[in-house]
Amino acid sequence: MKAILLAAGVGKRLGGVHDGPKCLLEFAGRSLLERHFEALDAVGVDGVTLCLGHAAEAIVAAIPPRWRARTVVHYNPLYTLGSVISLWCARQALASGDAVLVMDADVLYHRDILARLAASRQAGVFLIDRDFVPGDEPVKICLDGARIVEFRKRLPPDLRYTAIGESVGFFKFDAATALELAQRLGAYVADDRREQPHEETLRDLALDPALHIAVEDVTGLPWIEIDFPEDIARATQDILPRVDDATT
């Protein structure tokens, strides 16, 4: 199993609280990047692709020594555009013939979240947390029964659904579905839709009834995506104690 970590963003919404890349934010003396590699090791991932842009050299230098031979680095020179380009840079991993995890790198999370994702035998899996604060920021997963009917931050007012939750930003695809994702990313690039977020290509997969994308419910497990200064405070005060209690 392979993993793709998306870590190209600038993190400008942190407002100068942290000037480096978000994946190098440290909690209890360990960076998010280090924590990712530890969790990936625990679920049997044997190769990682890092999609980098802002402060790429600093991130490369922080790769744990025992992972350096198993980590492929792709630099996206257009990282200030949409993240679709960053994921497209990892198309070789998506076409590797292995199952692939696709993960945002700016997340602090309980290891059981990744364990549940890695253990899934579905062709494609999105993680959903039904306990979330509504608003324009969360990427929402809307379900009609077991079927995903929307995957976006903003929902059409006439959308009908039976359940809603927030996407954790982690996904798993079997070899065939990962290859399909690579092809759709290529179409976005060819059609000059490079400014789109990578979530739009994932939405295309989720809404395609032929692909049978499933969800895994991780409600109750602690996690947080780091976007704003208040996220760092909440991560330190509320999330970290519950995360580290599980690994000590």
- Does residue 55 come out as left (phi exceeding 0), alpha (psi in the -120 to 50 range) or beta? left
Q: What is the pLDDT at residue 12?
A: 76
The whole-number pLDDT of residue 224 equals 97
Q: Are 61 and 23 in contact (CB under 8 A)?
A: no
**CA Rg value for the chain:** 17
Per CATH, the number for 2-245 is 3.90.550.10
**Residue 247: its pLDDT value, please?**
56
Note the pLDDT of residue 172: 98
pTM listed for this prediction: 0.95
CA 109, CA 98: separation in Å to the nearest integer? 24
Nearest Cα to 141, choosing from 169, 114, 122? 169
Sorted by where each begins, the domain ranges of the chain are 2-245
Residue 215: per-residue pLDDT: 98
pLDDT in tens, the chain (248 residues): 999 999 998 877 887 776 789 999 999 999 999 999 999 999 999 999 999 999 999 999 999 999 999 999 999 999 888 899 999 999 999 999 999 999 999 999 999 999 999 999 999 999 999 999 889 899 999 999 999 999 999 999 999 999 999 999 999 999 999 999 999 999 999 999 999 999 999 999 999 999 989 999 999 999 999 999 999 999 999 999 999 875 54
